[in-house]
A and B are shown apart, each in its own frame.
Chain A
């Protein structure tokens, strides 16, 4: 089975995503070298910067200012190897590309792969299913196989070989009538790296209910995130959503109040060093998954906590 890496160099998280993908490859196939690494990049400088993070030499960059899967798909589908395993990065655009390429070329596909294993020339892939309650192990019964990685896999540390010049294929941005407006995607990336995190949810009952959580986050210098219902309700920016559909955070300490801790949310805080949960319902899932749990109304406890932190800080 020949293995290829297809990595997306668009967006602020590209460098970390490339590191996670190379780390995944090295840990899954120690000592092996991928047949080729393809980097999709907005410009040549990004391509050579990211190529420097890839520990192998056969790197080709497809350069196009604005990401558009259609021409890239055309290029990739043209010479897909029938015995190939195509490993895509952990970003959503890569998952979309893997799915489309599978639709075009056939074989098999798995989105959200957290582990891979080759045994007796058979390829097994693991991923979380059932809203992250279960982990499934699949056999890729057909090749080529298009596998996009799960979010939150470990990185390689700071592998930096210095900029290198990959082979470049430059695609023109077609002159379309399409109106394209980019807006900054908020601070999802800063939540990913926050050392301290305060998270709220549906238990807040509305944006006003989040105020004391936001105040706590501000006085701790912590990131502030919310569960899906709170983000969908517009109580906080979408970019502050935590969980499988949002950011996977890994803070040293996470305070989660007014969130049930459903598996899809919990996946976003499960890598926390310590988790404190405050919930009125002793049966809420988070009450069995946190390090310290308080059964109670966070709206009564947090003002006291804020007072203590401020008091202590004023003594510094």
Chain B
């Protein structure tokens, strides 16, 4: 074939290739967005829980965004114990508690920070054990034995009288985030 058509063929090849590549990138973006959680999933992210009737050292499990939420009201002795406790990752246990009036509550996502099993609470020993790989937490859900790298994550919360709104970040939660007591969930 004549050499003088080669330049034109190359040009058409590159032009078509360029547009195809652009379209390909666009399609990849669309595919990524299709895998994203739906807006309805994102929006159903608020739950209000009432802490009025919770008993000392009795674990209550609520549900938020499909995840179990642990609520554990601390007795006087438990608060005193938490004052001096430091987790495996160097964080103070006492900072993890939420104070409402004169009462202290542990509120956390009940999924092990290792790989997400639900740890079980032992009220006598006042600790949590994760049966999956043997991780342990104290009564404030601070980590005391690996493999979990940190205490149970604390969900965003806002205090509203004796109620907690989960999913909304109030000043007390923002402080916990800022000093590294919990990571964002």
Q: Is chain B a partner of chain A in the same complex?
A: no
Residues on B facing A (Cβ under 8 Å): none
